Amino acid sequence: MTAQDLFVPRQTNTALYIQLHDAGHPVEDILRVQRAYGVACAMFNGRYRKTGRPFICHAVGAASSVAHFDKDLDLVVAAMFHAAYDSAQYPDGKSSRRSETHRKWLEQKLGPRVEGLVARVGAMKFDTGDPERLVAQGVPAGDEDILFLVLAHDVDDMADGGLAFAPKYGRSIESRVAACAILARRIGRESLAATIEAYGSRYAALGWAAALEDSRLEGFRIAPNVRNYLKLRRDRLRGARVEVL
């Protein structure tokens, strides 16, 4: 696979809309994704990934990756919200865990099938060593759709070199890439497997990125200080365009 052929996940909402249109999705589908994006902006507001990339870019990137390999719009939207029960914020201000209140709220926003997919994605272990474990033990029957989502998610993780700047799986991802490619082929996703291998092959040349590694290897959030928060509340009361989740 040449550099020209290699799929690059979109990172903005408008680029994703164009991708969907070019893939043949009707405007009704794109409007649905636009509404979902608005919800995602509120839920992941101020959230950044370990590399410093705004989380909303990653959410769009994961959705873009899924859209490239599959036309099922529920899968595309679920990819955008893959961290809804891990790193998101909800109107009640409580932990992002999947409480009954959060489940009902997200289901109302996205639909029951998407909410179910999001919950199952969050339940699948796909951290360090997990792809290798799944290769050895097999994927539970019926979880092929969730495996596809987490594999497509990894494409966005790798595409911008993120796993070199914030090596959450360790300095070498060689065994992970090999395992992910095997898993993709087992569920009939040859193009996805080839894309994973192509991005994985680039990491050998990214050793220099270690110098830019942040000491914190966790995502973080930037929120307004109390004074700015109060100003935002005041501006909203005066009719300014300030939205509150």
* Assigned CATH class of 13-207+219-237: mainly alpha
Q: What is the rounded distance in angstroms from the CA atom of residue 49 to the CA atom of residue 51?
A: 5
98 — pLDDT class (breaks 50, 70, 90): very high
Q: Are 226 and 181 in contact (CB under 8 A)?
A: no
pLDDT at 204: 86
Token pair listed for 179 = 């395992």
Banded model confidence at residue 217, pLDDT cuts 50, 70, 90: low
What residue ranges do the domains of the chain occupy? 13-207+219-237
Higher-confidence residue of 212 and 24: namely: 24
pLDDT at 3 over 70: no
Instruction: Report CA-CA distances (Å) from 127 to 44, 130, 134, 164, 177.
Output: 21, 5, 11, 16, 13
> Residue 244: what pLDDT?
73
pLDDT of residue 232: 82
pLDDT at 23: 98
* Average pLDDT of the segment spanning 1-10: 82
Encoded amino acid at 227, one letter: R
Read off the pLDDT of each residue in 153-178 and give the average, rounded to a whole number: 93
What are 137-164's pLDDT values in tens digits?
Answer: 999 999 999 999 999 999 999 999 999 9
pLDDT of residue 215: 76
pLDDT for the residue 4: 63
Nearest to 125 by CA among 139, 145, 106: 139
pTM for the full model?
A: 0.93
